[in-house]
Every structure is written in C-alpha cells, then in structure tokens.
Amino acid sequence: MRLGSFALHAAQHYGVSVVGVTLSTEQAVLARKRAADAGLTENIDIRVQDYRDIVDGPFDAISSIGMSEHVGREQTPHYVDVLHGLLRPGGRLLNHAISWNAGPIKPDPDSFIPRYVFPDGEMISLGEMVSALETGGFEVLDVEALRQHYALTLRAWVRRLEENWDEAVRLTSLGRARVWRLYMASSAVGFETGITGVNQVLVQRAGGDGPPLHRSDWI
C-alpha cells in the first residue's frame, strides 16, 4: 500500500513530517494504523482529501505516486500548476507514473482494463509529462525508467495472488479476484513488451538552492 509504506519510510529513515493524501477512506485507515503501530502519529498526517483542496503549504517536497494516470491529458496542466503552487521555491516534486509507449495508437476505452479496473484512467507518454512539467515552471533534474522492474513486480504479485487464492476470494469475491489476476498478468506483458512504461521524473521549482553538481550526491 504505497501511501502508508512511503510515509513510514520517509518518517522512519529521514525524520521528516509527512502529509499523505488519498481519496480512499480504507487506505487512510490502514495507513493511520501503520503509523500508530510504528509510534509515528506525530510525524505522519494521513488525510482523506482531494489534492486540489490542500491549502496548508508550501511543502519542501512532494511525491506523487501513481496518481497522474488518473488525472488525464486534458487536466495535466492544472495538475502540474497545483503541485507547483504547493511547493516552496526550490522545492522538489517526484512524479511517478505509468506511461503509454505505443505512440499514436491509443488504448481502446472499451477494452478490459478501462472497463473493469481503471475506467477513467488515461496514460500519457513520458515526453508529454516532461513537457507539461517544464511548461508548468519546473526544471527537470532526473528521469528514471522502471519498466523492467514493474514487469518483475507484477509477475511476483500474480504469483502471490495464486498462492493465496482461496484467501483472496474469501476477502473479496471470485469475480474480483479473477479480474485482478488477469489485469496484473496482462500488465506484466505490457511492461515486458514495452507498450507501457513507468517512470520517475524528479523536478524542482525555481528559486532556493539548486541541486548538488554531481548526481551521485543526491540520488
């Protein structure tokens, strides 16, 4: 569960104060429990909130993990503008997103994943994302491609699901378990063949101190 895991890692290993935002009440409840179990409730604030409604910035850094795919091409400039406004001068944004690598061929909105898993999702290319971030006032510091890592991760998730199939069905339903098995298996193929990718783009708002001269000093 990315929100809780990332917040815990940042607070435990770097001693930072973390604000986590999600639209899922269930995700927030679990993340808060994990923070309490780790004794980090003073360091981690998990909110059920739309990112556009945050008013208590500016923040030193923002990590957006697997969110911009749900924003869509049309709203991406506004998404970038909101995050830019939430950062202090010199603050950094890490945007982690799945990308569409198949060029002008667009995903069929009536195909399996749009219909049953992410009905309103829209992947854009890495180039479009970088362009939107630069147009929105950010300087690109680094780009890391994780496509092959995601293929391995999805294969592992499918294997774990099959190993715990009866429990997954008990907790959800046979239909839902089958949908997610097919979704993860087909997604693994997409990453293996390069139709889809996943990239982490690190950018910085103008102002403040710049990054160290050597990449190895800050990665």
Per-residue pLDDT tens digits for 35-46 = 999 999 999 999
> Could you identify the residue written with the tokens 């997954």?
168
Q: Is residue 31 part of a domain?
A: no
**Burial degree of 101 (CB within 10 A; 0-12, 13-18, 19+):** middle
- Bridge partners of residue 64, in order along the sequence: 95
Q: Is residue 7 part of a domain?
A: no
Range of the domain at 200: 50-217
CATH code of 78's domain: 3.40.50.150
Q: How many separate domains does the chain show? A: 1
d(CA 29, CA 49): 13
Q: Is residue 34 part of a domain?
A: no
Average model confidence (pLDDT) for the chain? 92
d(CA 187, CA 181): 10
Q: Is residue 78 part of a domain?
A: yes
Q: Is residue 13 part of a domain?
A: no
d(CA 188, CA 155): 6
What's the mean pLDDT in 178-187?
96
Q: Is residue 82 part of a domain?
A: yes
Find out whether the peptide bond into 77 is cis, omega within 30 degrees of 0.
Answer: no
Q: Is residue 71 part of a domain?
A: yes
More confident residue, 198 or 107: 198
d(CA 87, CA 152): 34
